[in-house]
Every structure is written in structure tokens, then in C-alpha cells.
Amino acid sequence: MSARLSVLTRRCLLLLGCPLVVAVACGDSDETSGSSPTTDGGLALGDAGTATDAATATDGATPTEAATPEAAVDAPTSGCAVANGGCGANATCSEPAGKITCTCKDGFVGDGGTCADVAATLVGLRWELPCTAPNANASLCGAAAAPVVKTATLSGAPGTTYAVTLRFRGIIEPNAYSGGSATGFFYTGGAASDPYANIYELKVSAPVTKYFVNAGTVRPSNDLYCETIDYTATVDMTAGATVTLTANPRDALQIKNRNQAGTALVVPNVPPAPAAFDGQFVQMDVVSIVGK
């Protein structure tokens, strides 16, 4: 106590007189800790509260509470991270506001729990013109006497138009088309120019459009051979559209499956590979489908 008074006395002498309230404040200081008698958040001179009271008055928390950060709480494991949140295999799981929502991916329709492929009916459709009889010309064979037609219906959300990317692979004789536009073997609009070469037509009812998948240069009669095709093209189709594939041999004759050397052609990974198809064909597969 005497040591604390001695310190108090020295401080008060330096102040040339020490009012009682100052003496009390001075006497409450902690000399050993070196802390200041007051802080910006401490007691004003004459306050009766303690230093702890001052901290409480400043922010409503004790020094211990103020210095302790709020405990970090691990977020609950995402429901979407487990079994896709219960959504279907072809759905995307999301958690807006903590509630799991299942949305079918592009090219699929459904309630999110079950999502159906919009273009499932188109996958693997084929134009086929098998040889039906030999011909005196070894480069030719008999073919169907009438067009061979196949149809399919695109599903999807009513009123939605889809950009459908298709892959065409097969063995064909080319035909010349005019009145439309060509991109390689793929021809949009127009009509066939040659009266004999086979026609491979793809028609869509909505939006109404027709395409030909074997555009090229017609073979002269002294140089008859087929060639393989493998390419992609994107067409617009509206949900509910009828898709029609027509293979038309025109004159009931066609070029046999042979290259310029007379060897049968095979399209890898397309039936009947590794065997050769006896005739001509085109297989159509769906690469992607995106709603517009």
C-alpha cells in the first residue's frame, strides 16, 4: 500500500495538486502492467464504474467476449453431393435457399427425377438400299422399285425448338442437287438434278425443311463407284416434329458397294462392320440437342 501511495504522491506532485477523483483514478492504475489509467473506451474522470464496466458500456460485451471470434460452424454436407441429391441421372441438382431442385439437362425432358431423351427416336435411324439382284453391269445391282420411307417423332417441351446436331455415316453414290445450299455432302433445300442417282432425303415437319445427305458429283457411266461419308450437321427441330427419311433409288438400280479398285467399303463401328453392307446405307446418330 505504501508503495502505491508513494507512486500516487509523485504523480500528484507532478500535477501540482491532485483532486481526490484524480487520486482515486491514479491509485487504480496497474503500475506493474504499464497500462494507462484510462483508454478511449474507459471511464471518464469522476465515473464510479470499473474498467470492466467501461468495456461493457462501449460494446455491450465483456473483454473476453469481444476477443473471442464467433465459432465457425461447418456447413452441412450438400445434398447434391450425395447421389446427385436424388435427381435423375440426366438431371442437374442445385440447392437454391437450401432446397434441392432437380432440372433436366439440355436434350432431356421430365420432372427432374426422371428425364427422357428428347431425340431418342432419332438415334440410329438408317436409310438402307440393299442390293436385290445382280446386273449385267458388274458395277451395278438391282434396288428397291419404290422409295423406302422411315419416320420418327421428336419429343420435347411443347413449343420448344431444338438445335439437333446429327452425325451421318455410310456408303453412298452422290447426287447433284440445285436450288439450295451445300455444305460438303449436306444440302439444304432444293431438289435433285440427276434423274438416276439415288436420293437420300431428310425432311423435318417443323420448321418445315428438307435436306439431302449425299450431295456431290454424279458418277459418269464409265466410272461407277461408291464412297464413305462421315460428317455432322445441325438442324432445327420443334418438339412434336415428324422426321422423315426417304431413300429413293429412282430407277431401281444403284452402284454396288465398291470403291474405284472394286473393293467393298466398310464404315468402322457402324453395323454390319466389320462386314461390308451389300448395297448402300446411311446411319444417322444424335451428337447433341440444345433447346433454343
Q: Which fold has domain 79-117?
A: Laminin (2.10.25)
pLDDT at 22 over 80: no
pLDDT at 69 over 70: no
- Evaluate whether 164 touches 204 at the Cβ level (below 8 Å): no
pLDDT at 61 over 80: no
pLDDT at 66 over 90: no
Residues 6+ apart with CB under 8 A from 70: none
Query: pLDDT digit string (tens) for 127-178?
Result: 999 999 999 999 999 999 999 999 999 999 999 999 999 999 999 999 999 9
- Evaluate whether 164 touches 286 at the Cβ level (below 8 Å): yes
Sheet containing strand 253-255, strands side by side: 133-134, 140-142, 253-255
pLDDT at 38 over 90: no
Report the pLDDT averaged over residues 108-134: 96
pLDDT at 77 over 70: no
Burial 36-46 (b: 16+ CB within 10 A, else e): ebbeeebbeee
- For the chain, the structural domain boundaries read 2-67, 79-117, 120-291
Please state which of the ranges 68-72, 152-156, 246-250 shows the lowest mean pLDDT.
68-72
Average pLDDT, the chain: 82
Better pLDDT: 222 or 227: 227
Report the pLDDT averaged over residues 168-195: 97
* Ranges assigned E (strand) in the chain: 91-94, 101-104, 108-110, 115-117, 125-130, 133-134, 140-142, 148-153, 161-172, 177-183, 186-192, 199-205, 208-212, 227-238, 242-248, 253-255, 279-291
For 120, other C-beta atoms within 10 Å of its C-beta total 14
